[in-house]
Structure 1
Amino acid sequence: TVEELAATSPEPFDVITCLEVLEHVPFPDSVIATCKHLLKADGHLFLSTLNRNPKSYIFAILGAEYILKLLPRGTHDYSKLITPAELAAFCRNSRLNIEDFTGMSYNPITKIYKLGRNIDVNYLAHVRHFT
C-alpha cells in the first residue's frame, strides 16, 4: 500500500501517479495525504478517478460494466465516486493545490481514449504543494 511505502521510503519522489485507485479505497483523503508525504516539495502528483453524477453512472458503470463489459460488473460503487470539488477539498486538506483538471473520454467503436476539457465522467488532476 502507499502507507507501507511511506513508512519505508528513504527519499521523496519527483512524480507520483495514483490512477484509478481513489474510487476503490475506503479513505481516499488518507491516500492523498500519504502521497503528499512521499512527494518532493516541488514534485507533481497525478490523480485520476471517476466523477459522481448521473452521466458518469450511465457511461462508467452501466455502459462500461454492464453493456460493453469492458470491466467486471461491480467494479465501481457509485457512492465511492469522487466529484472534482471533493477531490479538490481532499487536496486542500493535505496542503496540496489542484493545478489542472483534464477529462478523459473513451470511444468504444475506435477503442481510443482522448484527453479534453469535459470532466463529467473520467478525469485527471495535476496536483502540487501550495506555494
Structure 2
Amino acid sequence: VKPGGMMVMATINRTLKALALAKIGGEYILRWLPAGTHDPRKFVKPEEAKAALVRAGMNVTAEAGVGYNPLMDIWRINDDTAVNYMLTAVKR
C-alpha cells in the first residue's frame, strides 16, 4: 500500500463463537462452503490484526463486526467482532 493508501480487510475472529458459527455452521450445517474451507488455526483476533497493521506502517482507522441474520437473510455491520469483523487502515 502506498503512503496515504487505504486497506480494508475482513476476516474471522479466533473465538469459540466463530468456530461454531463460521466453521461448523457455514460448512456443515448451512453447507454454504465445502467442508474444510476454514482453518481455525488461521483465524485472527482483532488485536493481532491491528498489531500487524501497525507493524506494517499503517494506522487503523475503523473496526466493525459483521453479522448475519438468518431469519431476514441479510448481513449487517454491527459492534460484535466475535465472529466476523472488518478493519480499515491507512498507510503512513
* Residues 56-71 of structure 1 aligned to structure 2 (within 5 Å): 56-71=18-33
Q: Is 2:61 the counterpart of 1:103?
A: no
What 5-or-longer segments of structure 2 have no aligned partner? none
Measured after TM superposition, the shift of residue 70 of structure 1 is: 1.2
After TM superposition, the score normalised by the length of structure 2 is: 0.93
Find the partner of 1:72 among 9, 34, 50.
Answer: 34
Higher relative contact order (CA closer than 8 Å, sequence separation 6+): 2
Q: Secondary structure at the match of 1:74?
A: coil
Find the partner of 1:47 among 2, 5, 9.
Answer: 9
Q: Is 2:89 the counterpart of 1:127?
A: yes
Q: Within 2, Cα distance between the matches of 1:107 and 1:117? A: 14
Measured after TM superposition, the shift of residue 108 of structure 1 is: 2.3
**Between structures 1 and 2, the one with greater helix share:** 1
The count of corresponding residues between Structure 1 and Structure 2 is 92
The RMSD of aligned alpha carbons is: 1.0
Distance 1:109 1:70, change over 3 A: farther
1:1-37: CA deviation from partner (whole Å, max 9, x where unpaired): xxxxxxxxxxxxxxxxxxxxxxxxxxxxxxxxxxxxx
Q: Within 2, Cα distance between the matches of 1:78 and 1:113? A: 22
After TM superposition, the score normalised by the length of structure 1 is: 0.67
Please say which structure displays the higher CA radius of gyration: 1
Q: Within 2, Cα distance between the matches of 1:42 and 1:88? A: 17
Q: Where does structure 1 differ by over 6 angstroms across 4 or more consecutive aligned residues?
A: none
Q: Within 2, Cα distance between the matches of 1:90 and 1:40? A: 17
What 5-or-longer segments of structure 1 have no aligned partner? 1-38
Measured after TM superposition, the shift of residue 40 of structure 1 is: 3.0
